Amino acid sequence: MLVSGSLTFHFASKSSETGIVYLWIEISEATSNVVYVGKASRTLQFRCNRHKSGFKNSVTGRAHAKRIQFGIGQGRRYLVYFRKSLIESILYENTIPMESVEELAFIKKFRPLWNA
């Protein structure tokens, strides 16, 4: 969402869940495309705040911000889809969060343009 020239995230509801995998989806009149996949070991709100900081303070974040601002100027919308990642048992360890594995799987599946 663009507010006073700055990008921000609007949450329909807040969640305290951790271990999240998320997709940025670019929506135009004709298509919807996954443009970015990420993970949040902490809460999604925490991770989105890190993105907001990156929109100003990191090379990759500024590139994402330019792409989003350009897309908004072209009439595109952006949504963030997210889900709680699975927790698995591996090598007798019973609480292994899978957000890193799921992030890689989503990147392989959708091949988002904005993931390096």
Residue 66: exposed, middle, or buried by beta-carbon count in 10 A (0-12, 13-18, 19+)?
exposed
pLDDT digit string (tens) for 62-115?
A: 999 999 999 999 999 999 999 999 999 989 888 888 999 999 999 999 999 999
Compute the mean pLDDT over every residue in the chain, rounded to the nearest whole number: 89
For residue 29, give the H/E element and its range: none
What domains can be seen in the chain, in order of their start residue?
A: 2-110 (3.40.1440.40)
Task: Give the model's confidence band at 11: pLDDT under 50 very low, under 70 low, under 90 confident, else very high.
Answer: confident
Residue 45: exposed, middle, or buried by beta-carbon count in 10 A (0-12, 13-18, 19+)?
middle
The reported pTM is 0.86
